[in-house]
Structure 1
Amino acid sequence: MSRRSGKPQSQTRARARAFALDPRLAIGVVLVVASVAGVVAIVATSDDSTEVYAAASSLTPGDRVMSSDLVIRSVKLNEATDQYIARGELPAEGFIATRPIEAGELVPTSSLGSHDGLSLTSVVVSPQGGLAATVATGASVDVWASAEAEEVGYGAPAVIISGAIVVRLVEDDSLVSSAQGSAIELLVPRSRVARLLEAMANGDVLSVIPANLPAEG
Structure 2
Amino acid sequence: MAGSRDTVRKGRSARFRIDPRLVIGLLLVVASVTGVYTIVSAADRSALVYSATAALTPGERVYPADLALSTVRLGDTIDHYLAAGDLSSDGVLITRAVAAGELIPASAVGSPASLRLASVVVGVSGQLSRSIAPGAVVDVWASAVLDDRMFGPPTVLVGSATVVRVLDSSGIIANDRARAVELLIPRDRIARVLEAIADESAVSLVPVSIPMTR
Q: What's the TM-score once normalised by structure 2's chain length?
A: 0.45
Q: What's the TM-score once normalised by structure 1's chain length?
A: 0.44
